[in-house]
Amino acid sequence: MSIKKVHFIGKSLIELPSCPSTNDYALSLLSKSKPDEGTVILTFNQTQGRGQVGSQWISEAYQNIAFTSILYPEFLAPKEQIILNQAVALAVFQLIHRHVDQTVKIKWPNDLYINDRKVAGILIQNLLSSNKFNTSIVGIGVNVNQQKFPPELSTATSLSIEAGRTFHLKELALELCDELEKQYNRLKSPDRKSIHEEYLQHLYRFHQQSSFQVVDGTIFEGRIVGITPAGKLQVEKIKDQRLEEFGIKEIRFL
């Protein structure tokens, strides 16, 4: 497969044989200097990866991609963080969609699913100062060639499992650079407004009746109807048609 030339995301590529966390490596770089925008830290052996809100990202060595890009989206206001998240999710969606024939969805807030199984996750850390959007550390983990997962990851899958073939990790990482750059450039253009609508188009269980559980253990039936500008999930309860909003870790799918 021919890989499109990367213009700035991935032009500066730091490839590590092993790394506890590519996001932490990026933070360390930023504490010492200002790397070029689009600098990518890449490893196929991440030993202490992190997910959303303190969860762990478990990955078999040399089978998957751990990827972090350093961006400086100073053209965005702090209140627009959600549109950056959505653009990154669409980049990963496009990468996965290209390689499998099955249904690919974005599970709020930042997971990628093939059918009902998780294949990728995103962790974005934004650095703000004086009400200004300075730096975004975009971490992406993709399950690529792993064939077996531990019992606690019962809903996990990989591109290889779903596509029935083995992937070249470096080539796939360069494709991810290309997709991320496309979506990042959309953020700078008048096309930015369409990113939210496209994200909703590919949102997992959007407008479908589903069972949910909230932090106090209550279970209810509802439909996802939108995402707020602050990034909260809007769910309409079936029983009383009441609209409620939930933050990360405040609700889960059953």
Which residues in the chain come in under a pLDDT of 70? 1-6, 50-57
CATH number of domain containing 17: 3.30.930.10
When divided into structural domains, the chain yields a total of 2
pLDDT at 231: 93
Q: Are residues 47 and 166 in the same domain?
A: yes
> Residue 214: inside a domain, yes or no?
yes
> Residue 28: inside a domain, yes or no?
yes
> Residue 170: inside a domain, yes or no?
yes
Q: Are residues 41 and 114 in the same domain?
A: yes
pLDDT at 136: 97
- Give the pTM: 0.93
Q: Which of 201, 229, 244 is the last residue of a domain?
A: 201
pLDDT at 53: 46
Q: Are residues 176 and 213 in the same domain?
A: no
> Residue 222: inside a domain, yes or no?
yes
pLDDT at 192: 86
pLDDT at 154: 84
Question: Rounded CA gap, 22 and 60, in Å?
Answer: 15
CATH number of domain containing 230: 2.30.30
Instruction: Provide the strand spans (E) within 61-101.
Output: 65-71
Dihedral angle sign, alpha carbons of residues 11, 159, 125, 233: positive
Question: Rounded CA gap, 245 and 247, in Å?
Answer: 7
Q: Are residues 243 and 134 in the same domain?
A: no
Q: Are residues 97 and 222 in the same domain?
A: no
Q: Are residues 63 and 128 in the same domain?
A: yes
Bond prior to 20 in cis (omega within 30° of 0): no
Question: Rounded CA gap, 120 and 67, in Å?
Answer: 11
pLDDT at 51: 55
pLDDT at 150: 86
Q: Are residues 193 and 217 in the same domain?
A: no
> Residue 193 phi/psi, 5° resolution?
-60, -25
Question: Rounded CA gap, 192 and 187, in Å?
Answer: 5
> Residue 5: inside a domain, yes or no?
no
Q: Are residues 183 and 217 in the same domain?
A: no
Q: Are residues 103 and 218 in the same domain?
A: no
Q: Are residues 135 and 181 in the same domain?
A: yes
> Residue 152: inside a domain, yes or no?
yes
**Structural domain boundaries, residue 165:** 13-201
pLDDT at 57: 61
| Contact by Cβ (8 Å): 42, 66 | yes
CB atoms within 10 A of CB 241: 9
Q: Which of 201, 219, 245 is the last residue of a domain?
A: 201
